[in-house]
Structure 1
Amino acid sequence: MNSFTELCNKLGVPIAEDKTTTRLTFLGLEIDTVDMVVCIPVAKLIKLRFHLQPMTIKRKIKFKDFESLVGLLTFCSRAVPSSRTFWRRFYDVIASFRVKKPFFSFRITSEIREDVMVWLEFLKSFNRDSSIIGLNWTDNDILQLFADSAGHAELGCGSYFNGKRVQFKWPDSWVGLNILQDIFGTPSYTFSTLYMGSSFEN
């Protein structure tokens, strides 16, 4: 910032000192350039809880209300890393309807209700902030970390990190269950961290 200010002074570009800020709102999210965090506005979280809470006791929900909830979850998920696992089932429900009538009501399944409970429990302790991760740490070519999962319950997942390889077989108890539909892609990186975490240092 100092370099930018000096350059503007040299070029004679006027700067409104009263308008510079280290915390701004962009696309609905608050960004703090000092603490390097992205923050979800309080009003959005209150609205999210308001839409989630009734789903713990209601048997049915209107399609338009469900769509609104999914849109809100998608927005908040931009500041909640790895949260896609817990709203993917919601998208599957929307995609399953060929005719999307706004006032059509459908039954809330036990699986959807469980995901709602996870979100409500998470929101109890969520401080609204998520760290902005440096670009170098999100580039697989730099980290040399690659992982993938097989969607079939009788197979498994594997990962590669800087010359080291590891492979995992899905538990036999998962055969016949839809558990992979919910966590697909997540276990490979989780297991990699558990088994090769010490290699990630520095």
Structure 2
Amino acid sequence: MLGPDTRLEFLGIILDSIDMKASLPSDKLQRIRDITKSYCEQQVITKQQLLSLLGHLNFAMHVIPQGRSFISRLLDAASAVDKLHDCVFLDEGCRSDLRFWSLLLAHWNGVTFFYDDLVRSSDSMRFFTDAAPSVDFGGFFQGEWFAGSWPLSISTSSKFSLNPAYHLYHTRDIPSG
């Protein structure tokens, strides 16, 4: 019989209540890495293969929520055909998303920390951004403004409004306290 523990596997995800983190078991993480890498450069796969891949990525997103931005094109491609054995064309955008996933999974340690919404709210961080495809992006982070233009590849633009804030945060003088 299993007694109280601070680390347990629940629905295939390891939860650690001391370190406040969730992680994927190493065998599952490696399987998702292998499957994703195997499809990165393929131009045609079946709908069944794509749905299987999306199932693995969906599972990974329970621990890697940042990956949600990089499956919409794959979902669109899967819905473009009716039958499971129909061929799906993976355009450059789909393959780019798969390469992102492959790169992320190759360098990610399999761990994410539980979010504390009270500590990380935009108000508590004094961090605000806004963006529009027609007028670029900008933001305010702890007393400093930033703005920029969209890159040519708009599909990856969601991360660009955060980069200036990240740079400001990591280059400012942090008072010791």
Instruction: Please give the TM-score of this superposition, normalised by the length of structure 2.
Output: 0.80
Residue equivalent to 2:22: 38
Residue equivalent to 2:95: 113
Residue equivalent to 1:6: none
Task: Provide the C-alpha distance between the structure 2 equivalents of 1:200 and 1:35, rounded to a whole number of angstroms.
Answer: 28
Residue equivalent to 1:10: none
5+ residue gaps in structure 1?
1-15
**Which structure has the bigger radius of gyration?**
1
The amino acid of 2:145's aligned partner reads R
Is it true that 1:132 corresponds to 2:106 in the alignment? no
Task: Provide the C-alpha distance between the structure 2 equivalents of 1:66 and 1:200, rounded to a whole number of angstroms.
Answer: 47
1:139 Cα shift? 1.6
Q: How many residues align?
A: 175
SS in 2 for 1:137: coil
The amino acid of 2:20's aligned partner reads M
Residue equivalent to 1:9: none
Query: 2:130 aligned to 148, 172, 181, which one?
Result: 148
Residue equivalent to 1:20: 4
5+ residue gaps in structure 2?
none
Residue equivalent to 1:90: 74
- RMSD between aligned residues: 2.8
Kindly indicate whether the alpha-carbon contact (under 8 Å) linking 1:39 and 1:128 is maintained by their aligned counterparts in 2. yes
Say if 1:73 and 1:192 are closer, same or farther in 2 by CA, change over 3 A. same
Kindly indicate whether the alpha-carbon contact (under 8 Å) linking 1:147 and 1:159 is maintained by their aligned counterparts in 2. yes
Query: 1:157 aligned to 125, 132, 137, which one?
Result: 137
Kindly indicate whether the alpha-carbon contact (under 8 Å) linking 1:31 and 1:38 is maintained by their aligned counterparts in 2. yes
Say if 1:58 and 1:82 are closer, same or farther in 2 by CA, change over 3 A. closer
Question: By percentage of residues, which structure has more helix?
Answer: 1
Is it true that 1:169 corresponds to 2:142 in the alignment? no
- 1:9-46 Cα deviation digits (max 9, x unpaired): xxxxxxx9x61101122343111112222101233223
Residue equivalent to 1:194: 167
SS in 1 for 2:103: helix
Kindly indicate whether the alpha-carbon contact (under 8 Å) linking 1:148 and 1:185 is maintained by their aligned counterparts in 2. no
Instruction: Please give the TM-score of this superposition, normalised by the length of structure 1.
Output: 0.71
